Structure 1
């Protein structure tokens, strides 16, 4: 059964982080910093060092851009149709356009499709992170900071600096001494379980008060239902392998990215709404992903 084999193990890891945070009230920031600056770069380097550059990576970039643009257009049109103000439109964009492909998507792909699926999931996760760093910051800070801040955030992402050395080592057949590579692998393999625990801790800190259920419902439908449908349609236009197509669709069906809540807080873009959207879409995704994985299998 898909739920027991794929979704439940992920829920249990989230739950462990949730319970620990409720009991001990830990500071998440130092743990997140370790993940961002040590664990994630090691995982990214490991992936791009071992995954050949091929058309699959090209299609990952192209489809990710097209899916994001389609979602952005839909959100803007719906916002104008429902007469939302600019701040609410920005909050909807943060809640509905950006998927949690790191803390949630990669583990789901790993449990569902194994290492072969992860070879696609990690590049997807990295590129989604770049899109979120640029456009997530832009929409969170629209009218306050803008594209210059977004560019600075992108340049500060350590994972971006792990990609090029890994690709160069692979392309020029530069062999890393086995003991050094084992260290990189050991650190990289810690990444997925730790980011899953962190998401559980983040959800424990979300306080869903005075929820705007009308707009949360709109964001939820876009994020969990419309996004994978758009991804499926876009995938039809490219000669993708069946596995890559499934991974792209699954990653598009993830709930709201937890990072967007931090952007919303930083720039005061309806942070309570975005945080509530993260919680609601995450909880509902346990059901929607079970259905989607059953269909794709």
Structure 2
């Protein structure tokens, strides 16, 4: 799977590919904004529901269907380590320039991206089924980062070490991950009706995750628009991450060799906009979710302009186009 194949990925027309997922996501954001403005819905219980129920069941189902193997799990481990290191790097860089809570949000967002809600629909169009599976296991590592290292760094912006660790211990996603690995290792068959009932959770995860951004924006005033904070988010997401993705792909190409599908999956992870989970986690920990929501919306709006340019340039630099 990691062996390099002499193949190229050519003629990627990403403009039309991005239009449908973008408008779908923006429609969900707008729906959330209407709910907050017209129905006065509080997004905090929804954030809690996402973290403690919907996300764990979504990724448990994905792992069971994906059939984890040592090779796939190596991708998960690799993406988890890279995301964690970027988070710690960003935390060190921004700490002298931002208040503790804002620095925590920046550090958390630095290690992740919208690899699920935004990146997955694009991956399903650009990649063959095997490539989508590779992308999913990379995505899983970043999600594990969000609810372990990322959550801890975010919590440390407001809570003590002990309080932060207690909060992580209460997160069920890690236990869902371990339960899926155990079921796979022991070859425990999950009953068909159970898996069918879990099929509703991925779409629910996407819908509510994007609606929370709109609900949070519905409470934002012009005074909360922080150009410096947004600029820092954009630099990390569209400056640091594409460079790291390029370095990872080139390093793997020149050492062990990788298939073009995996290379494209890694490059795509490097160019998606900010993660909607930045708002979800910030809301759960009460650490400036409004600023996170504005930054997520800005990076999502510019994604259709930047992603095709980034991917075309990165594919050429790696010899895949």
Pair 1:107–1:156, CA change in 2 (3 A)? farther
User: Does 2:187 match 1:173?
Assistant: yes
Tell me which residue corresponds to 2:212.
202
After TM superposition, give the deviation of residue 184 of structure 1 in Å.
0.8
Tell me which residue corresponds to 2:76.
60
User: Does 2:276 match 1:258?
Assistant: yes
Q: Could you tell me which of 11, 15, 20 is aligned with 2:22?
A: 11
Q: Could you tell me which of 42, 48, 51 is aligned with 2:63?
A: 48
After TM superposition, give the deviation of residue 10 of structure 1 in Å.
0.9
For residues 291 and 175 of structure 2, the distance between their equivalents in structure 1, rounded to whole angstroms, comes to 33
TM-score, length of structure 2 as denominator length: 0.74
The structure in which a higher percent of residues are helix is 1
For residues 86 and 39 of structure 1, the distance between their equivalents in structure 2, rounded to whole angstroms, comes to 29
For residues 70 and 243 of structure 2, the distance between their equivalents in structure 1, rounded to whole angstroms, comes to 26
Q: Residues 154 and 282 of structure 2 are in contact (CA less than 8 Å); yes or no, is this contact kept in structure 1? A: yes
List, as ranges, runs of 4+ consecutive aligned residues in structure 1 with deviation greater than 6 Å: none
How many residue pairs end up in the alignment? Answer: 290
Tell me which residue corresponds to 2:119.
105
Q: Residues 90 and 107 of structure 2 are in contact (CA less than 8 Å); yes or no, is this contact kept in structure 1? A: no
User: Does 2:245 match 1:245?
Assistant: no
For residues 144 and 294 of structure 2, the distance between their equivalents in structure 1, rounded to whole angstroms, comes to 24
After TM superposition, give the deviation of residue 44 of structure 1 in Å.
2.6
After TM superposition, give the deviation of residue 17 of structure 1 in Å.
1.9
Q: Residues 231 and 252 of structure 1 are in contact (CA less than 8 Å); yes or no, is this contact kept in structure 2? A: yes
Tell me which residue corresponds to 2:5.
none
For residues 34 and 89 of structure 2, the distance between their equivalents in structure 1, rounded to whole angstroms, comes to 42
Tell me which residue corresponds to 2:149.
135
For residues 80 and 29 of structure 2, the distance between their equivalents in structure 1, rounded to whole angstroms, comes to 30
After TM superposition, give the deviation of residue 281 of structure 1 in Å.
1.4
Pair 1:84–1:69, CA change in 2 (3 A)? same
* CA RMSD, Structure 1 to Structure 2 (Å): 3.2
Pair 1:162–1:278, CA change in 2 (3 A)? same
For residues 19 and 260 of structure 1, the distance between their equivalents in structure 2, rounded to whole angstroms, comes to 18
